[in-house]
Structure 1
Amino acid sequence: MTRRQLLGLLLAALAGEVRRNMDAPPEVLDYFRRKELAPRFSWRDVWGEEHAHAFTVAGVIDARVLAEFRAGIDKAIAEGKGFETFREEMQRRLTPHGWWGARDVVDPVTGKAKRVDFSVPQRLETTFWSNMRAARAAGQWDRAQRTKAALPFFLYVRTTSAHPRPNHLRFVGVILPVDDPAWSWMFPPNGWGCKCSVRQISLGQRDRYLEGTKGEDGVWYTDEAPPRNDKRFVNKRTGEVTMVPEGIDPGWHTNPGVGRAKTLGQQLVERLGEQEPAVARAMTRRFVRTDGFESFVWRAHQREEQWSKLPAATRATAAGRRAHWDDAPMPVAVLPADLAGGPAVTSIVTATDYAVAHNASHAMTAFEWARVQQLLDVGEVRRRRRDDALQVFLPRSADRSAWWYVILHRDGDRWRIGTQMRAGARYVAKEKEAGLLLRPGGSTVIEEGMGEIAAEERP
């Protein structure tokens, strides 16, 4: 076993769940502390992956009171305290505000009043455990991204509840790679009060589980993801229609860790947008060469395999796309100064998993996505007449029979890549006719498999 693998195993072993009187793993606290206050009347007002960056407690529309809840849960996570200690803490915090005990809260949408009472253990306990388990799940996901070289699989573990939900039992024994797209929807917790969990395991452990016979606990181990069997759910507060996998409570159908990763990606884009172009270029260049970016591209291609098997009618709808793809922006380049759209438009160029992998014939490796900056710097650039998209062309063969082709769309105050692809000379000639020349192409040729250092200037 290599030193890196051993370190991964040690990290995974030491970074367990939050227990009483045990310091919380830093990822758990980091996830929770990045959330912004979102005073809302109903749990439906903050939906799905919004929970990754918004902290809310149903019925609490007073920001001061909501801040007390966040401080109380933060303290419980940091100090590893249990529910009873948390309840005592919240009684002390809420009493001065008049929120300990029954009170009427008016729904700002309907104008109707609803009675809430956080002195009732069941209501407060739901708030406590929902936040604790979501934070733990996000922390576990974050750790897995760093330790997956040694522990590349997740095993779905049976709940500790005395009365397990039959629909959750269908996940028990499933073993899939850490980056498998199925974990974007079946990563626990999968409902209110859900005590299911996953355990990160090694390749050897995976093989032993799959080779074994049915255990005394009645678990069959499999390396095949269960079917989603989506059901339509209408959010009565917003009218939003969501396809929720069978057996998972609406609102719990997303992975807190993936949601956190998307939030961090968004924050990275915003941070880059605040930098000087030279600094932003250097930071982006480092980012697209990280394991995290490579994992992002790999997961996108895994999603495409499932996407291509969905009915054409599903793939053609916006709801179908939202249900399958994260569509979170990841920085891949900085737009050169001669192409920038003015001070109101950031120069950061992003790509989403949909852009990376929605078309199997356009499949590109993480290495090829990492060199988009080169294409923008030296390629021929045109503005497509029909939609003002930027077209970037660069030959990938000395005789110009093969080309790299990138399409960028203006998205509000940003630029995003619609697709990157290999194209033949005839197709490129047709596409060039559809655009107005902004910058003539240089003589650089980036051949198949070549990187920055190997890029060759042709006379």
Structure 2
Amino acid sequence: MNPEDIKAVFEMKPEAAVAYLKQKGVAVSWDWQDMLDDAHATAFTVAKTAGMDVANDIYSAVVKAAETGQTPEQFSQEITPVLQRKGWWGRQEVPNPDTGEFQTAMLGSPHRLKTIYMTNMQSAYMAGRYVQMKEAADTHPYWEYIAVNDSRTRETHRLLHGRIYRADDPVWDSLYPPLDYRCRCRVRPLSAERGRDKVLPSPELETITVDIGENRFTGEQRHARRTGIRIGRQFVAPNAGFNANQGKTMLSRMAQVAVDKAQAVHPDIARVALKEMMKNERFKNSLSAGALAWVLELLKG
């Protein structure tokens, strides 16, 4: 899939997806449960990479794939020899860096590399897509959930297909794809004319806590939140670890970075800069409650 194909599929510029990937840091982890929800938007990680010096290699390969429009097969062909040379391949007995205990773990494999590729690409493109749709909300105030609807589509994702909510509906804070590993869903913006008669009332959101296994190092039981809605008798929510809107989290992080930098300069300079930035609704809406309060207090001066 080349960049033009990607642009046609996602109806957005590939550069936005690359920007999302490049603003991430790299974090090593042993278990997938170490990185949940909002953390995915600010850090790139692959489970079972702690202490094995391969997380940066995989991250660089993912960024390159987005920049050059590599297919999953091309991505895998390029990164596989690197991982094999470093020993991160196949099922092996490896020491847990937290405990020193040896355990059997599946490291690299063609299936796993495809999952890494698809999950990160979908997160990146949907985050960039979110930014563009928020910017166009004045002309396209309604969003429609779109599932692929083939034999591989999860039933809960199929239930969301065609559901239309306002662009500012809180439902998108959690039910914005990807909702799981290898999720292929997307969201389509609709004009006022196309969405007005089809928009659904804001649904009641429900949050449940699920068990995601024991931390073998501390002995503590780990949990994750899943926030979703009821469609009939079915609870429809992101899978554990995906309970966040990647695009919204990215915007909030960038806004916080701007505020942090403003706090480090003279108040008079910060006041002028932030006064201009607050004219941008996207920036204002991305601020956390604490950051917004600080900015408003500064602007009073």
Q: TM-score, normalised by structure 2?
A: 0.83
Structure 1 partner of 2:208: 231
Aligned length: 282
Per the alignment, residue 41 of structure 1 pairs with 30
In structure 1, C-alpha distance between the alignment counterparts of 2:299 and 2:121, rounded to whole Å? 44
Checking the alignment, whether the CA contact within 8 Å between 2:38 and 2:249 is kept in structure 1 is yes
Q: Specify the alignment match of 2:122 in structure 1.
A: 133
The aligned residue for residue 115 of structure 1 is 105
Whether 1:243 and 2:204 are equivalent positions in the alignment is: no
Partners of 1:70 and 1:328 in 2: CA distance: 32
Distance 2:148 2:291 in 1: 35
> 1:67 and 1:203, CA in 2 relative to 1: closer, same or farther beyond 3 A?
same
Tell me how far apart the structure 1 counterparts of residues 138 and 272 of structure 2 sit (CA, whole Å): 27
Specify which of 130, 134, 138 is matched with residue 145 of structure 1: 134
Aligned to 1:194: 183
Q: How far off is 1:16 after superposition?
A: 5.0
Using the TM superposition, give the Cα deviation of residue 331 of structure 1 relative to its aligned residue in structure 2, in angstroms: 4.4
Q: Is structure 2 residue 291 aligned with structure 1 residue 330?
A: yes
Gaps of 5+ in 2: 1-5, 228-234
Distance of aligned partners of 1:60 and 1:17 in 2 relative to their CA distance in 1, 3 Å threshold: farther
- Give the CA deviation at 1:235: 4.2
Partner of 2:231: none
Offset, 1:330: 3.0
**In the aligned structure 1, how far is the partner of 2:282 from the partner of 2:44?**
26
User: Is the contact between residue 178 and residue 184 of structure 2 (CA under 8 Å) also seen in structure 1?
Assistant: yes
Q: How does 1:61-76 map to 2 (within 5 A)?
A: 61-62=50-51, 64-76=53-65
**Structure 1 residues 201, 275: closer, same or farther in 2, change over 3 A?**
same
How far off is 1:130 after superposition?
1.0
TM alignment of 1:353-364, pairs within 5 A:
none
The equivalences for 1:194-343 within 5 A come to 194-207=183-196, 210=198, 222-236=199-213, 237=215, 239=221, 241-245=223-227, 246-247=235-236, 248-296=238-286, 329-331=290-292
Secondary structure, counterpart of 2:196 in structure 1? helix
Identity %: 23
- 1:374 Cα deviation after fit: 5.3
Worse overlay, 30-39 or 107-116: 107-116
TM-superposed CA distance for 1:89, in Å, is: 0.9
Q: Check if 1:174 corresponds to 2:135.
A: no
Of structures 1 and 2, the one scoring higher in RCO (CA 8 A, sep 6+) is 2
Change (3 A) 1:276 1:244: same
Change (3 A) 1:173 1:26: same
d(CA) in 2 for partners of 1:169, 1:225:
19
Shift of 1:124: 1.4
Aligned residue type for 2:174: W
Bigger shift: residues 231-240 or 70-79 = 231-240
Deviation readout 1:236-282 (Å, 9 max, x if unpaired) = 34645443133321111111111112211221222212323222121
CA RMSD of aligned residues (A): 2.6
SS in 2 for 1:161: coil
Name the structure where helix makes up a greater proportion of residues. 2
- Alpha-carbon offset, residue 171 of structure 1: 1.8
* Distance change (3 Å), C-alpha of 1:42 and 1:262: same
1:419: which partner in 2? Answer: none
Change (3 A) 1:235 1:48: same
